[in-house]
Amino acid sequence: MEFWTIPRTTQVTEVVAVLTLLVLLGTNGVESRKALANDYFEYSAISCRTHSASLTDFGGVGDGTTSNTKAFQAAINQLSQYASDGGSQLFVPAGKWLTGSFNLTSHFTLFLHKDAVLLASQEESEWAVIDPLPSYGRGRDTNGGRFISLIFGTNLTDVVITGDNGTLDGQGALWWEKFHKGKLKYTRPYLIEIMYSDKVQISNLTLLNSPSWNVHPVYSSDVLVQGITILAPVTSPNTDGINPDSCTNTRIEDCYIVSGDDCVAVKEWLG
């Protein structure tokens, strides 16, 4: 599976061919096979956005107590206008950024500084309630709907959630307590959920203490999850690491997961 690929130039192809020939000529007596040069090579989408902005440009305050839900959504709404003009990137600088859920847009990169921490709000009013997934028919914790994920997107193409190992902290202890005491009105939120989308990259982040599942790509294709660290107490309920659900062309690599349930669980809807 290839992600965000562009054709090689003729010059690069010629160089590869020359190097391959030199290697073959220099391997007398050594078993070898001819390497075929691909027509494409991978490049990182995070370096290919035409427009960029910082969360602070939209009033974001990284003090750990000020809600940044409106700042995130205002920033993404503004940057969404560049989807057809080279795409956009939202940079989250160092700081502790308290926030409820926010929705992503297409041709977009969310990039977290290495010292940036997104703190999931513990106020239920900061989490919209959405319908259960069609393949589930009900919420996992309750019969009704479910709280939307911290980072959410649906019907997107070319979306990247990455950083220099920045952190998402779900602050899940309050949610776990409500689950154990049977006090949940709706199913707990996940940290990242992307639905009905393609060309999705989630990489180079640390995810802590999710209220429930951590990473949930669902009904999507061409998904790459790479270089993710996921940590939650082994006693925390249903804190699955990465659950690709009814997806195609999905690759998970170089991830480290400690959780209270499955590390990786591949799911399929046959409906």
pLDDT of residue 51: 95
Q: What CATH number corresponds to the domain at position 185?
A: 2.160.20.10
Cα Rg of the chain, angstroms: 21
Instruction: Report yes or no on 267 lying in a domain.
Output: no
Q: Are residues 121 and 163 in the same domain?
A: yes
Lowest mean pLDDT among 65-74, 142-151, 158-167: 142-151
132 and 233: one domain?
A: yes
Same-domain pairing of 35 and 109: no
Give the pLDDT of residue 24.
34
Whether residue 86 is contained in a domain is answered as yes
51 lies in the same domain as 39: no
| pLDDT (0 to 100) of residue 112 | 97
CB 237 within 8 A of CB 261: yes
Residues 115 and 187 in one domain: yes
Check whether 11 has a pLDDT greater than 60.
no
φ, ψ of residue 231 to 5 degrees: the values are -135, 130
Instruction: Indicate if 110 and 237 belong to the same structural domain.
Output: yes
Query: Which residue, chain included where needed, has tokens 């911290």?
Result: 150
| pLDDT (tens digit per residue) in 75-105 | 999 999 999 999 999 999 999 999 999 999 9
19 and 70 both lie in a single domain: no
Asked if the structure places residue 19 within a domain, the reply is: yes
- For 21-63, what is each residue's pLDDT tens digit? 333 333 333 332 222 333 333 434 555 899 999 999 999 999 9
pLDDT attached to residue 118? 98
Whether residue 117 sits in one domain with residue 139: yes
State how far the Cα of 78 lies from the Cα of 67, in Å rounded to an integer.
19
Q: Do 110 and 35 share a structural domain?
A: no
- Please give the average per-residue pLDDT across 244-260, as a whole number: 96
Co-location of 65 and 118 in the same domain: yes
Beta bridge partners of 90: 53, 110
- Provide the pLDDT confidence category of residue 7 given band limits of 50, 70 and 90: very low
* Angstrom distance (rounded) from CA 146 to CA 80: 26
Domain shared by 127 and 66, yes or no: yes
- Of the candidate ranges 19-33, 129-143, 145-159, 205-219, the one whose mean pLDDT is the lowest: 19-33
Tell me the whole-structure pTM to 2 decimals: 0.82
| Residue range(s) defining the domain that contains residue 116 | 46-258
Same domain, residue pair 179 and 126: yes
Which residue carries 């009105």 as its tokens? 185
Q: What is the pLDDT at residue 96?
A: 98
- Residues that are catalytic: 261
How many Å apart are CA 164 and CA 127, to the nearest integer? 27
pLDDT band at 270, cuts 50/70/90? low
Domain tally for the chain? 2
The residue to which tokens 């106020």 are assigned: 123
124: tokens are 């239920």
Q: Given 3-state DSSP classes, what are the helix, strand and coil percentages for the chain, each rounded to the nearest 5?
A: 20, 35, 45
Phi, psi for 185 (deg, rounded to 5):
-85, -30
pLDDT digits (tens, 9 = 90+) for 147-196: 999 999 999 999 999 999 999 999 999 999 999 999 999 999 999 999 99
